[in-house]
Amino acid sequence: EAQVTQNPRYLITVTGKKLTVTCSQNMNHEYMSWYRQDPGLGLRQIYYSMNVEVTDKGDVPEGYKVSRKEKRNFPLILESPSPNQTSLYFCASSLGTGENENYGYTFGSGTRLTVV
């Protein structure tokens, strides 16, 4: 089954304790991205990757890191989490780009992170 797998689904952690949220896709997609969802703000892009070893900042990258060493994996790293990073996180992948094509995203199931 084509899917994006995120782990964990739920995570409660303490301020300053490094954590990693994993993301893996089995569709050979080139494009992967991380979003955070907050009430009233919709989903905002944190980081994205257009291919292996190619990553760039999205709209809200502060406090996050990513890596793309393999095509299928795109982990999100919080080196020193803070309470304002409490949010619902989504990983998503896409086949690629194409003018006016329906290269939509496949989303993971989400990770609900609470930082206390």
Partner 1 sequence: AQKITQTQPGMFVQEKEAVTLDCTYDTSDPSYGLFWYKQPSSGEMIFLIYQGSYDQQNATEGRYSLNFQKARKSANLVISASQLGDSAMYFCAMREGAAGGYNKLIFGAGTRLAVHP
Name the site residues for partner 1 (rule: CB under 8 A): 31, 33, 35, 40-45, 48, 50, 58, 88, 90, 92, 94, 96-105, 107, 109-110, 112
What's 27-81 look like in SS3? CCCCEEEEEEEECCCEEEEEEEEEECCEEEECCCCCCCEECCCCCCECCEEECCC
Our CB check for partner 1 shows the closer of 14 and 54 to be 54
Shortest distance, CB of residue 58 to partner 1, whole angstroms?
7
- Least gap, CB of 9 to partner 1 (angstroms): 9
DSSP notation for 2-29: --EEEE-SEEEE-TT--EEEEEEESS--
Neighbours of 53 (CB within 10 A): 10
Judged by CB, which is closer to partner 1: 1, or 99?
99
CB of 5 to partner 1, least distance (A): 12
CB of 85 to partner 1, least distance (A): 18
